[in-house]
């Protein structure tokens, strides 16, 4: 059975371990703190951004979190024509005028991040973005990036197939 992160056929790939994730989260949070930006709410881009966003909430001491569900990747190097917002939707009434940090695992094409940023700014929020990885192909340069790479990334939370 093939699954989203099945990269066994790829020889060139970036592998993030759980220990590496801990280091990456702290260093990414340090960038946010050093910038002076003080988010009041952290928004995870589900699913890939859920764990990085959770780590950022603790590292930044931010208790208010939410998630926005977007589907784009369907397999290794396979995407839908455009990113699609999925229900349930974010509580948009509570974000107007807030400082939001949108967190995702990777800005690959940047189209998902661009969609989310535009949507949230449309509700009057001051929005910044943080990702663990950014690819050279991204059309949206995130405000905070832990590492740049052009390789396929294997994350510790998606490196094994779903349980049957």
pLDDT in tens, 63-90: 999 998 876 554 445 454 565 665 556 7
Give mean pLDDT, residues 13-38.
Answer: 97
How many Cβ atoms from other residues are within 10 Å of residue 154's Cβ?
Answer: 18
CA 159 to chain centre: 17
pLDDT per residue over 31-59, tens digit each? Answer: 999 999 999 999 999 889 999 999 999 99
Q: What is the pLDDT of residue 7?
A: 58
- For residue 121, the surrounding DSSP H or E stretch is helix 111-121
Cα-based distances in Å from 156 to 55, 97, 114, 119: 14, 35, 25, 29
Rounded distance between C-alpha atoms, residue 108 and residue 17, angstroms:
19
Give mean pLDDT, residues 92-96.
Answer: 81
pTM attached to this predicted model: 0.86
Q: What is the pLDDT of residue 162?
A: 83
Q: What is the pLDDT of residue 45?
A: 93
In which band, very low, low, confident or very high, does the pLDDT at 3 lie, cut at 50, 70 and 90?
very low
Judge whether residue 9 has pLDDT over 80.
no
Tokens of 54: 């959770």
**Cβ–Cβ under 8 Å, residues 44 and 103:** yes
Give mean pLDDT, residues 23-38.
Answer: 98
- Report helix, strand or coil for 102: strand
pLDDT per residue over 148-158, tens digit each? Answer: 999 989 999 98
Give mean pLDDT, residues 1-20.
Answer: 72
Q: Omega into 88 within 30° of 0, i.e. cis?
A: yes
Tokens 């990777």 label which residue?
106
Give mean pLDDT, residues 122-132.
Answer: 95
Give mean pLDDT, residues 112-131.
Answer: 92
Report the percentage of the chain scoring pLDDT > 90: 61
């Amino acid at each position: 059975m093939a699954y989203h992160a099945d990269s066994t056929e790829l020889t060139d790939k970036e592998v993030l371990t759980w220990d590496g994730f801990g280091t990456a989260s702290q260093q990414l949070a340090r960038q946010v703190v050093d910038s002076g930006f003080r988010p009041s709410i952290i928004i995870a881009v589900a699913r890939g951004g859920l764990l990085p966003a959770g780590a950022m909430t603790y590292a930044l001491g931010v208790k208010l979190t939410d998630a926005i569900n977007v589907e784009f990747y369907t397999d290794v190097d396979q995407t839908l024509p455009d990113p699609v917002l999925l229900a349930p939707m974010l509580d948009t009434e509570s974000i107007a005028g807030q400082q939001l940090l949108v967190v995702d695992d990777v800005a690959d094409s940047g189209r998902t991040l661009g969609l989310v940023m535009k949507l949230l700014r449309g509700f009057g929020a001051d929005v910044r973005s943080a990702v663990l990885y950014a690819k050279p192909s991204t059309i949206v340069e995130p405000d905070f990036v832990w590492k740049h790479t052009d390789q396929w990334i294997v994350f510790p939370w998606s490196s094994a197939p779903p349980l049957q």
